A and B are shown apart, each in its own frame.
Chain A
Amino acid sequence: MKKGIEVSIAASMAAKLARVEVIAAYPITPQTHIVEHLSELVANGELDAAYINVESEHSAMSACCGSSAAGARTFTSTSAQGLELMHEILFIASGMRLPIVMATVNRALSSPLSIWGDHSDVMAARDTGWIMLFCENGQEVVDSIIMAFKIAEDRRVLLPVMVNLDGFSLSHVIEPIEFPSQDEVDRFLPPYSPLYTLHPDKPVTMGAYAMPELYTEAKYAQEMAIVNSRSVVAQAMEEFGKSFGRSYKLVETYNTENADFVFIALGAINENIKTAIDALKEEGKEAGLISLRLFRPFPVEELLTALGNKKRAAVIERVMPGGALNSPLYNEVSSLVHAHNMNLSVQNYILGLGGRDAQPEEFMEIFRTADTKETSKKDMNFTVIGVRA
């Protein structure tokens, strides 16, 4: 039975269903409701976990590394500046192969100060060695958090997983969400059994100094782990579908079979794109959507399959390139197109920064204009939608 619930609260309920044992967190908008509700669950005795309220996000992620290294199922959540303050420790978590799960409630980075949503936080942390999932709606948030532990703790993976949900436009809305029972989750997600753990009887060293003759090999092994995790993520999604009746794929498509044109995007914005696609259909025009649920590792094969022999694509992103030729997802799609000699014209559109709405009409307009754009003559390929001069 579905329950109307705020998505942040639902995210904390999912962490509870996953029987997390340690939560270390620091308040930051718009993430706060998630850890606040977890602290209530712990205080009320509904969740048997240690809740560590630390003095900064840097300490939060450090404490998470400690508890995960000691063998506890560990969860945290943050946003924006909090994620950037964790940045140093994000590499420690992935390098030490600690299966921490974090809900990142995506928010714009300062400055100027903004508490509203976009993807500048996660995109600045995209190459930290974390597996990254993106969610379109509240149900996906709940399901992804449960799956995230399954993926992270798999002995073929042993990497931290970040579940991204858009600040406010997803985190603070109330949606009808179906919660699996505790028994069902327990069957899907057995207790965490670490391969290595800090224990006085069997001491191990984690993160020790690596001389130049070892560092490359250590990082190579880690890279192989994240690259190879793609099939484990797919497997976890398949198994989740069998257990709970809701199936997910690494790359989701919407109306792509009829269209030569596709949008490619991440997160909650995709629901607006789908509305635009439906409206275009009524006008007799066909556009499709390719939604990346998995962003790291990059789902190469799945994206190639989804792209098929499409003619035109618009990559939509909620982040400024910061001096790069284009925004991050575009650059990856573009290198894919180049490597596979695809006959696909790809445009880069930036919108929805710092909480600005991205309405279906804007996507319809992108569809209408993408066709006629000249790209090769421009120094900067990307277009910022709705920017005032």
Chain B
Amino acid sequence: MAEVTKLIHEYLRHDKKFPHVWCPGCGIGIMLGALIRAIDRTGFSKDEIVMISGIGCTGRLPVYVDFNTLHTTHGRALTFATGVKLAKPSLKVIVIMGDGDAVAIGGNHFIHAARRNIDVTAIILNNSVYGMTGGQFSPTTPYGMKTTTTMYSNVEQAFKISELAITAGAAFVARGTVYHTRGLDSLFERAFMKKGFSVVEVISHCHTQYGRLNRMGTAVEMMEWQRDHAVTVEKAAQMNEEELRDKFKVGVLADRELPVFEDEYGKIRAMSKGTPAK
């Protein structure tokens, strides 16, 4: 307990009014805890970290933490982050988004940040729905599920955020759940230490909107669903397609060395300065 209290006093804003805005049972608070523990372990100072968010339930997170923070517009957090990183490459830039923020309104920025492989960490809490605005379907709402805007059933296919990030060119991609809390700590830590665009997709639940409409039970039952449907990358390697049908992989899905944008750009700048003017 003492350790927890120390972290709270160190990283949460003392002047902020608690309790936070999230519903009782929400996974965002669990993710916030994991974030703070991971940052503490990496040894970054609070002033070295910039936490940037857009809009939505998850977008509220930086409001509560004592780092440099930017609360921006819906979907654009990664573009603000790109500006911060290029202006001050020494800063550790962490972007916090929800699924609507990251892959709907900000989807284009997400794939291009990955393609560019800029040294920014994107943390995406995926709860399959727009929670704050009333439970509308998002690009990660699975086919066939109910939301307030798909009252019969969702007819669109869902994005797989991690797979999208891998294909788009991110150097590091991992997926965890808020059920596997301690696992999240280490995924975050590895993502922060990775040079290049790192993505951690956090599978969470919205029992208030999505869970209620789809009769998935309480927050605890939805977390048990995460437990029962997550398989580690190692275990998945030994399973066949049929066994993996209704499962999702957790753990590090990609970890590769790729040219990092600001390094490459720095080289060009150095070269251009060294070239005599015509």
Contacts and interface: CB of A to CB of B under 8 A. Distances in A.
B107 interface: yes
A56 B133 contact: no
A375 interface: no
Given A81-B74, A110-B73, A111-B71, A56 B134 contact: no
A111 B69 CA distance: 14
Contacts of A81: 55, 73-74
A29 B133 contact: yes
Contacts of B74: 28, 56, 81, 85
Interface residues of A, number: 21
Contacts of B104: 55-56
Contacts of A32: 133-134, 136
Contacts of A51: 149
A355 to B, nearest CB: 17
A107 to B, nearest CB: 13
A32 B131 CA distance: 12
A53 B136 contact: yes
Contacts of A111: 71-72
B151 interface: yes
A57 B151 CA distance: 21
Interface string B74-100: 110000000000000000000000000
Most chain-B CB neighbours within 10 Å: which of A51, A53, A57? A53
Contacts of A214: none
A43 B152 contact: yes
B151 A56 contact: no
Interface in A336-366: none
B133 A27 contact: yes
A195 interface: no
B65 to A, nearest CB: 16
A39 B151 contact: yes
Contacts of B139: 55
Majority-rule SS of B interface residues: loop
B105 A56 contact: yes
Given A55-B105, A56-B75, A39 B148 contact: yes
A36 B148 CA distance: 7
Contacts of A224: none
Nearest to B60: A113
B179 interface: no
B208 to A, nearest CB: 15
Interface in A79-127: 81, 85, 110-111, 113
A26 interface: yes
B130 A27 contact: yes
A257 interface: no
Contacts of B150: 43, 53
Contacts of A40: 148, 151
Contact of A27 (B71, B73, B136): B136
B172 interface: no
Interface in B106-157: 107, 130, 132-134, 136-137, 139, 148-152
A9 B26 CA distance: 29
A85 B55 CA distance: 14
A36 B151 contact: no
Interface of A: 26-29, 32-33, 36, 39-40, 43-44, 51, 53, 55-57, 81, 85, 110-111, 113
28 contacts: A26-B105, A27-B130, A27-B133, A28-B74, A29-B133, A32-B133, A32-B136, A33-B134, A36-B134, A36-B136, A36-B148, A39-B151, A43-B150, A43-B151, A43-B152, A44-B151, A51-B149, A53-B137, A53-B149, A53-B150, A55-B139, A56-B75, A56-B104, A81-B55, A85-B74, A85-B105, A111-B71, A111-B72
